[in-house]
């Protein structure tokens, strides 16, 4: 039995310390270096196999190889060389002289003979599975002894635990990278909290929602964060989460009053054996557009039923009169029939608006056809002309010649222009004037409709493009509408990359317009 050398004990201790090193390359590099030094080898190489123990995952050597040589060395040595023999036999090998041992493959005859005469090669087992082979070489024959062999085996045993740790860590890190990529790509805001509601993880969508950096939120409890970021939404999130957990509910709704956005929050519990690893995953989905549509729909239904009730009553009265006339052998009064047509037109307009809301809900994609802007304006004017005539209004066209072609959704833009013309017609008294202008300049197409009608009170102008907002003023009280037209104009124009605008003065008139980018 050999007496353990101090340097040998020191080496084993140092390898044992590698247990805390989690970098796989580091573990192998240091093991190779320590063993090479301790046994006085000239060169050490480590062949790392993949976790199935089948193919080469890494090749760590004390000396640098170019990529091509690495490929040849690793393939030949593993298939036919000593490392291959050690792997196949799952046992260590000591070659006292490479010249007489058939297990040694001569890679480059002259150089190899000059350099390597004795070799030690030991297998690495991790949890009983072969995971690699370490080879140590020396230019003198019979340099290595059986004592060296046992020492290197002990080093291999010792290093195997570190190797296992580092591999586990690498695997976990790989999984974390995958998880991170998933979290980064989801559009929902995700927050991972521990049991005390401290933020453990927040994906980019959540950070955007909170208007904070990752370093601002990680490790902070929701309530502390709410105070720090002066964010009422977070405070409510903490409150509602507590309430939901008490009632064993895994979903609740939350509104962000600041941004007027509505969220549905889904909660999943993380049940871990260790209390400090348990917690909650919160997924916040923005359902504002759905909520807006639901509100809009409810409003439209209320409004439609209210506004339709009145003309239906009017029609019934007219019909009663006409029936009484017919019963007495009289022809119906033509004025009554005329009024009935007008009432029907009002009802028709209401139904059209309802259909528009339905369309907005479907958010059909825009088409991108190339068209002549005169065709667009003429089509919209054609639609409005009968109403303009009926109100004896003057329509002036102020269209620049040679307007450049536009690209976009012809029918949606026609609907937008119709809404502006329709408003000018409705909110301008009989005999008024409507001026339609259009010009192209600086890659923009600009369109506007000016009227000299009732105008909009200054204090109500800010909300004018909001869905179902209608100005309240005595002059326009009698005019029916849904308050949806302008919001549709805004949506259509903005989806085309343009902008809407208006100026208005109560009692003097309004100008509504928009510009669109000219895309070729
Ligand atoms: P609606 O006309 O159906 O009420 P809109 O969304 O088209 O809905 O318009 C919203 C409100 O804006 C109208 O109710 C009206 O008060 C005001 N408005 C729109 N266009 C004009 C205009 N040309 N002149 C005066 N007021 C207008």
Cα 335 to Cα 338: distance, rounded to the nearest angstrom? 5
Cα 182 to Cα 204: distance, rounded to the nearest angstrom? 11
CB 137 within 8 A of CB 94: no
369-517, CATH topology level: Heat Shock Protein 90 (3.30.565)
| Ligand 1 pocket, Cβ-based, cut-off 6 angstroms | 419, 423-424, 427, 451, 453-456, 464, 469-471, 476, 481-487, 510, 512
Q: Closest ligand 1 atom to the C-alpha of 465?
A: 6
At 303 the pLDDT is 65
Cα 87 to Cα 130: distance, rounded to the nearest angstrom? 7
- Cβ neighbours around 457 below 10 Å, total: 16
Task: Name the residue at shortest CA distance from atom 13 of ligand 1.
Answer: 470
At 333 the pLDDT is 86
At 307 the pLDDT is 66
- Please tell me the distance between residue 471's alpha carbon and the centre of ligand 1 in angstroms: 7
Task: Name the residue at shortest CA distance from atom 7 of ligand 1.
Answer: 485
Query: Structural domain boundaries of the chain?
Result: 5-178, 186-286, 291-360, 369-517
Cα 344 to Cα 388: distance, rounded to the nearest angstrom? 18
- Please tell me the distance between residue 445's alpha carbon and the centre of ligand 1 in angstroms: 23
Residues recorded for the chain: 520
Q: Closest ligand 1 atom to the C-alpha of 476?
A: 16
- Please tell me the distance between residue 315's alpha carbon and the centre of ligand 1 in angstroms: 26
Q: What residue has token string 């964060």? A: 225
DSSP 307-363: HHHHHHHHHHHHHHHHHHHHHTTPPPPHHHHHHHHHHHHHHHHHHHHHHHHHHHHHT
Tokens representing residue 60 in the block: 């760590």
Tokens representing residue 283 in the block: 């997924």
Task: Name the residue at shortest CA distance from atom 16 of ligand 1.
Answer: 471
CB 112 within 8 A of CB 77: no
Superfamily of domain 186-286, CATH level 4? PAS domain (3.30.450.20)
Low-confidence ranges of the chain (pLDDT < 50): 1-2
DSSP 226-245: HHHTT-HHHHHHHHHHHHHH
Q: Give per-residue pLDDT as tens, 362-385.
A: 566 788 899 999 999 999 998 889
Q: Which residues of 71-101 are buried (b: 16+ CB within 10 A; e: fewer)?
A: eebbeebbeebbbbbbbeeeebbbbeebeee
Task: Name the residue at shortest CA distance from atom 23 of ligand 1.
Answer: 424
Which of 35, 60, 36 has its CA nearest to residue 131? 60
Task: Name the residue at shortest CA distance from atom 4 of ligand 1.
Answer: 483
Among 466, 481, 482, residue to substitute to test ligand 1 (most atoms within 8 Å of Cβ):
481
Q: What residue has token string 């009926």? A: 390
Task: Name the residue at shortest CA distance from atom 9 of ligand 1.
Answer: 483
Task: Name the residue at shortest CA distance from atom 3 of ligand 1.
Answer: 481
Task: Name the residue at shortest CA distance from atom 8 of ligand 1.
Answer: 483
Pairing of strands 509-517, 444-451: antiparallel
Q: What is the CATH code of the structural domain delimited by 291-360?
A: 1.10.287
Cα 154 to Cα 248: distance, rounded to the nearest angstrom? 55
At 1 the pLDDT is 42
At 6 the pLDDT is 76
Q: Closest ligand 1 atom to the C-alpha of 481?
A: 3
At 414 the pLDDT is 92
**Residue 173 parent element (H or E):** helix 146-185
- Please tell me the distance between residue 424's alpha carbon and the centre of ligand 1 in angstroms: 8
Among 483, 489, 493, residue to substitute to test ligand 1 (most atoms within 8 Å of Cβ):
483
- Please tell me the distance between residue 404's alpha carbon and the centre of ligand 1 in angstroms: 30
**CATH 3.30.450.40 fits domain 5-178:** yes
At 3 the pLDDT is 53
- Please tell me the distance between residue 455's alpha carbon and the centre of ligand 1 in angstroms: 9
Tokens representing residue 64 in the block: 């640098």
Which of 132, 134, 74 has its CA nearest to residue 105? 74
- Please tell me the distance between residue 464's alpha carbon and the centre of ligand 1 in angstroms: 7
Cα 417 to Cα 429: distance, rounded to the nearest angstrom? 20
Q: Closest ligand 1 atom to the C-alpha of 424?
A: 23
- Please tell me the distance between residue 437's alpha carbon and the centre of ligand 1 in angstroms: 19
Cα 480 to Cα 394: distance, rounded to the nearest angstrom? 22
Q: Closest ligand 1 atom to the C-alpha of 468?
A: 6
- Please tell me the distance between residue 423's alpha carbon and the centre of ligand 1 in angstroms: 6
- Please tell me the distance between residue 426's alpha carbon and the centre of ligand 1 in angstroms: 8
Q: Do domains 5-178 and 186-286 have the same CATH topology?
A: yes
Residues 6 or more apart whose CB falls under 8 angstroms from that of 313 comprise: none
Ranges of beta strands (E only) in 105-174 are 118-126, 129-138
Q: Closest ligand 1 atom to the C-alpha of 455?
A: 25
């Amino acid at each position: 039995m050999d007496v353990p050398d101090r340097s040998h004990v020191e080496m084993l201790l140092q390898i044992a310390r590698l247990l805390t090193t989690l970098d796989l390359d580091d573990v192998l590099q240091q093991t190779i270096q320590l063993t090479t030094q301790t046994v006085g080898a000239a060169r050490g190489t480590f062949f790392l196999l993949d976790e199935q123990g089948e193919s080469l995952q890494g090749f760590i050597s004390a000396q640098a190889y170019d990529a091509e040589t690495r490929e040849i060395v690793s393939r030949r040595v593993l298939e036919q060389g000593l490392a291959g023999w050690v792997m196949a036999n799952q046992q260590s090998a000591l070659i006292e002289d490479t010249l007489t041992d058939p297990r040694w493959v001569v890679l480059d005859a002259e150089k190899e003979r000059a350099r390597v005469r004795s070799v030690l090669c030991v297998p690495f087992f991790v949890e009983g599975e072969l995971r690699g082979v370490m080879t140590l070489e020396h230019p003198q024959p019979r340099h290595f002894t059986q004592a060296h062999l046992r020492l290197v085996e002990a080093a291999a045993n010792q290093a195997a635990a570190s190797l296992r740790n580092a591999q586990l860590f690498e695997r976990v890190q790989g999984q974390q990278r995958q998880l991170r990529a998933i979290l980064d790509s989801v559009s929902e805001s995700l927050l991972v909290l521990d049991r005390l509601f401290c933020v453990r993880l927040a994906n980019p969508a959540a950070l955007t929602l909170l208007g904070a950096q990752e370093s601002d939120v990680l490790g902070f409890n929701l309530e502390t964060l709410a105070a720090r970021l002066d964010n009422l939404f977070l405070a409510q999130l903490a409150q509602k989460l507590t309430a939901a957990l008490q009632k064993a509910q895994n979903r609740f709704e939350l509104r962000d009053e600041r941004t007027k956005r509505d969220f549905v929050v889904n909660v999943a519990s993380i049940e871990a054996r260790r209390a400090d690893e348990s917690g909650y995953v919160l997924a916040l989905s923005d359902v504002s557009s759905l909520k807006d549509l639901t509100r809009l729909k409810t409003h439209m239904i209320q409004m439609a039923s209210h506004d339709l009730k009145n003309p239906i009553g009017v029609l019934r009265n007219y019909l009663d009169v006409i029936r009484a006339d017919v019963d007495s052998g009289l022809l119906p009064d033509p004025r009554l029939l005329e009024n009935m047509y007008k009432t029907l037109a009002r009802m028709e307009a209401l139904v059209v608006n309802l259909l528009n809301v339905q369309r907005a809900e479907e958010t059909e994609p825009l088409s991108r056809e190339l068209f002549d802007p005169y065709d667009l304006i003429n089509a919209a004017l054609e639609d409005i002309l009968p109403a303009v005539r009926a109100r004896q209004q003057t329509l002036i066209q102020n269209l620049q010649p040679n307007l450049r072609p536009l690209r976009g959704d012809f029918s949606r833009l026609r609907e937008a222009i119709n809404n502006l013309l329709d408003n000018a017609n409705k909110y301008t008294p009989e005999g008024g004037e409507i001026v339609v202008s259009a010009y192209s300049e600086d890659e923009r197409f600009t369109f506007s409709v000016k009227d000299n009608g009732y105008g909009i009170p200054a204090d109500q102008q800010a909300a004018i493009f909001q869905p179902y907002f209608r100005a309240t003023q005595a002059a326009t009280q009698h005019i029916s509408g849904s308050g949806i037209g302008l919001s549709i104009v805004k949506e259509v124009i903005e989806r085309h990359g343009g902008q809407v605008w208006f100026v208005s003065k109560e009692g003097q008139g309004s100008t509504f317009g928009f510009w669109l980018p000219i895309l070729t």
